[in-house]
Amino acid sequence: MYYCIVNPSARSGKGKEIWEKLERKFDEKGLEYRAVFTKGPGHATRLAKNLTSKAALADETGSNVDDTIKLVVLGGDGTLNEVINGIQDFNNTLVGYIPMGSSNDFARDLSYPKKIDDLIDQITEGQNVRTLDLGKLTYGSMSRETSRLHDDKISVTRLFDVSSGIGFDAAVCEQALSSGTKNFLNKLGLGKLTYGSIALRQLLGAERVPCDIILDNKETIHLKRFIFIAAMVHHYEGGGFNFAPKADLTDGKFDLVYAGDMPKARMFLALPMSFIGNYYWIKGVGHHVVQKVTIKTDKPMWVHTDGEVSVKSDHITWECLAQKLRMMN
């Protein structure tokens, strides 16, 4: 049995249309499946929690559930993030992913075929199972200020599969979540441009906020003015910015990258160079490979996990969970 979690709003409302194409593929193969559609922020997490809770699933089916649970996610990076945060038993859950978002950063590193039929073949044939790292964010504090789109209940911990960031990149994500520009560009098939256009405006208004970065070897890096700090499991975030060109998806560590203590002119050099993954040489850009790191800032800043923003914080911890996520494609 395949349990499909579908975001019908993905690709500006084309999510349901793409699901219908995949449904025909399931029928052609004679496979059992069930589809549920998301209805707003946090709903995919609740659906995944119910589907991967064996007690809940046994009640629903009236039988014992011993087999591996197969989840197929149709949506963007945000939908996938919500699903991962709902999974109750990673050891007995396989995840298939059909990327339908505006950025699709998770899929960039995985060499997914472009044709949907080929993607669903990968998932249903089950010949390409791989295990990937996940990241875990823990809030040491939370502000009262919440984002424009957030879950009703904000958890102290949150998992991420692509990246988590604090500062500039999170502020870009927060603005993009409710941006009319994003919806407009998505309809034109140019959703990837959303983050670049918003990023330029955010750089011009970036605040001067000091921070301390405490690495897992106890070394502390102090920045008088940080722009962003990101824990990267994958190479890309923000619609294709190659912030971590050498990231390893399975080594049990993430690439910590940050930018700070630099004039605006250098900031505008670093942004396009980061898009092509060639910016570590710029003065003010830092890079470390770590399993765990703590960030403390002088004032609460926006924090994102895979582009999802809920709340501001001035104290967070990131840690990498080695080979936690089992993928069918």
- Tell me 240's DSSP state: T
Q: Which residues sit opposite 130 in a β-bridge? A: 327
pLDDT band at 256 (very low <50, low <70, confident <90, very high): very high
Residue 13 has pLDDT above 80, yes or no: no
pLDDT band at 175 (very low <50, low <70, confident <90, very high): confident
Residue 318 has pLDDT above 60, yes or no: yes
Q: What angle do CA 315, 196, 9 make, to 5 degrees?
A: 85
Measured CA to CA in angstroms, residue 239 lies from 190, 299, 302, 306 at distances of: 11, 27, 18, 11
Residue 239 has pLDDT above 50, yes or no: yes
Q: For residue 9, what pLDDT is reported?
A: 80
Q: For residue 91, what pLDDT is reported?
A: 92
Average pLDDT in the chain: 85
Q: Which residues sit opposite 258 in a β-bridge? A: 229, 286
Q: Which residues sit opposite 95 in a β-bridge? A: 71, 327
Q: Which residues sit opposite 274 in a β-bridge? A: none
Residue 157 has pLDDT above 70, yes or no: yes
Residue 198 has pLDDT above 80, yes or no: no
Amino acid type, 93: T
To the nearest whole percent, how much of the chain has pLDDT over 70?
A: 84
**Residue with the larger pLDDT of the pair 291 and 155:** 291
d(CA 178, CA 274): 25
Residue 311 has pLDDT above 80, yes or no: yes
Give the best-scoring range by mean pLDDT among 50-54, 121-125, 136-140, 236-240: 136-140
8 Å CB contact between 276 and 289: no
Give the best-scoring range by mean pLDDT among 116-130, 141-155, 164-178, 221-235: 221-235
d(CA 96, CA 132): 13
Give the best-scoring range by mean pLDDT among 40-54, 117-131, 142-156, 191-205: 40-54
Which of 41-55, 77-91, 111-125, 187-201 has the lowest average pLDDT?
Answer: 187-201
DSSP string, 93-149: EEEEEEE-SSS-HHHHTTT--SSHHHHHHHHHHT---EEEEEEEEEES---S-B-SS
pLDDT per position as a tens digit, 52-101 = 986 555 555 555 555 789 999 999 998 999 999 999 999 999 999 999 87
To the nearest whole percent, how much of the chain has pLDDT over 90?
A: 53
Q: Work out whether the CA dihedral 122, 124, 130, 134 comes out positive or negative.
A: positive
Please give the average per-residue pLDDT across 317-325, as a whole number: 97
Closest by CA to 169, choosing from 309, 313, 300, 294, is 309
pLDDT band at 188 (very low <50, low <70, confident <90, very high): very low
- Tell me 170's DSSP state: H
Please give the average per-residue pLDDT across 221-235, as a whole number: 95
8 Å CB contact between 97 and 73: yes
User: What is the C-alpha R_g of the chain?
Assistant: 20
Residue 45 has pLDDT above 90, yes or no: yes
Q: Work out whether the CA dihedral 63, 66, 71, 77 comes out positive or negative.
A: positive
Which of 26-35, 175-184, 243-252, 263-272 has the lowest average pLDDT?
Answer: 175-184
Q: For residue 184, what pLDDT is reported?
A: 43
Residue 134 has pLDDT above 90, yes or no: yes
Q: Work out whether the CA dihedral 236, 240, 243, 248 comes out positive or negative.
A: positive
Residue 111 has pLDDT above 90, yes or no: no
- In angstroms, how far apart are the furthest CA atoms of the chain? 64
Amino acid type, 279: Y
Domains annotated for the chain, with CATH where assigned, are 2-128 (3.40.50.10330), 134-323 (2.60.200.40)
